[in-house]
Amino acid sequence: MFKLMGKTLYPENMEILYDRPFSKESIEEDFVIKGGEWHVDEEGWLVGKNPENKACMIISKGDFLGNVLLEVDASTILPCTRDINVMWHGSWNEETNRRHVAYVAGMEGWWNGNIGFEKSPKYDLVCATNLFPFEPGRVYHLMVGDINGHIFVVVDGKVCLEIFDPDPIDNLTYGKIGFEAFCSYLRFKNPKVRRITYEKVTCHYDPEF
């Protein structure tokens, strides 16, 4: 359970839209590699490696439309110390071979060790903070998503970012999820996509004095 402004979410009670461990078969059947080196190791981790300063991704073939939550376990692989990134409400431009319309969130990125968020392709909505005490090589449980443009980034149950998009991505048109290596070497495990449900909460303070 975690709380946002005006909302309480219980991910464990949400409908699961995708819950398939990474494997050679799941990668071949459910995903498309868009740059970088990707494979599934003997422990079931999806390993991504990309030394270049650009987004190299593996993205879903299917779409997950509506208000969705993407969760995954992730870590850098030492000596890499940075840039764990995921995508939802995404798309890919085949002509330019670049990510197109999408929400992207991640850890220890944005060049200054930030937890951050960005809206592709114009990048006219970006948010970042370096207040999270990131540890390279440690496994984190990452949950990202949005409710009609109320965006959240949650790490190990702690809400790290909330952003309100005044012009939300059309979540009935753009529905790809993806995992990204940006000059990084990292791994992902236990991916799930959930249909978001939530309880409305009235924000109110009771006097403390």
Average pLDDT over residues 29-47: 97
Q: How confident is the model at residue 176 (pLDDT cuts 50, 70, 90)?
A: very high
Average pLDDT over residues 67-94: 97
Tokens for 121?
């392709």
pLDDT at 63: 98
> Does 199 reside within a domain?
no
Express as a percent the part of the chain with pLDDT over 90.
98
Phi-psi group of 137: left, alpha or beta (phi > 0 → left; psi -120 to 50 → alpha; rest → beta): left
pTM flag (> 0.85): yes
Strand partners, 149: none
DSSP 8-state class, residue 12: G
> Does 92 reside within a domain?
yes
Tell me if 37 sits within 8 A of 187, measured CB to CB.
no
CB-count burial class (<10 Å; 0-12, 13-18, 19+) for 13: exposed
> Does 169 reside within a domain?
yes
Q: Cα-flanking dihedrals φ and ψ of residue 30, to 5°?
A: -110, -15
> Does 139 reside within a domain?
yes
Tokens for 12?
């464990």
pLDDT at 74: 98
> Does 197 reside within a domain?
no
pLDDT at 121: 96
pLDDT at 26: 97
Question: Count H helices, E strands: the chain?
Answer: 1, 20
Average pLDDT over residues 91-98: 92
Tally of domains in the chain = 1
Q: What's the pLDDT tens digit per position in 128-175?
A: 999 999 999 999 999 999 999 999 999 999 999 999 999 999 999 999
State the Cα torsion 109-111-115-119 to the nearest 10°.
-80
Q: What is the CATH number of the domain that holds 177?
A: 2.60.120.560
Express as a percent the part of the chain with pLDDT over 70.
100
> Does 99 reside within a domain?
yes
> Does 22 reside within a domain?
yes
Q: Which domain holds residue 138?
A: 2-192
> Does 208 reside within a domain?
no
pLDDT at 175: 97
The average confidence (pLDDT) of the chain is 97
